[in-house]
Amino acid sequence: MPTQEHDATGVVIDAASYEDLQTIIKIDCNASGEAKPEFWLECYKRQGAEPNSTFLVAKSDGKIAGFTIGTIKTWEFGSPACGWVETIIVAPEFRGQSIGTQLFDAVVSHFRSNGITTVRTMLDISDHALMSFFRFQGMSAGPFIELEMQSE
């Protein structure tokens, strides 16, 4: 994906680089309370190895403001090809500046450029802020229900 500069804010959205990973890990740790360096390295590697995956960062004045991962999946549970927003995180000091919306728009643009018109995500039912964010982007409940159990 070529670099996209959003003129109104000066935010640049581009593919994540290896050099971005340490900051991404810190931002995620701040959001989740857990450092996951192996996970983020695998996400970075997947971007180059799987053409259906994209890992984007938003930078403001050269500083990472947020990031997102999107993946195109086909025929999961009988569903035609669709784009999945796997994660989207904005650093606390950049929240309220439309960074999340710009990242969301960029990942949706990636899906559209690959012929994908359906976008999905999954989130914790108690995460009202994230639910509001995705609803603001135009998302609503889809046709699937996630089920889970604990196996011992």
Contact (Cβ atoms closer than 8 angstroms) between residue 25 and residue 40 = yes
Confirm if 64 and 16 have CB atoms less than 8 A apart.
no
- pLDDT tens digits for 103-134? 999 999 999 999 999 999 999 999 999 999 99
The residue ranges of every structural domain in the chain are: 4-136
Q: Say what the pTM is.
A: 0.89
- pLDDT tens digit sequence for 25-72: 999 999 999 999 999 999 999 987 888 899 999 999 999 999 999 999
**Cα–Cα distance measured from residue 87 to residue 134, given in angstroms and rounded to the nearest whole number:** 12
Q: Which CATH number describes the domain made up of 4-136? A: 3.40.630.30
**How many C-alpha atoms does 21 have within 13 Å on its Cβ side?**
15
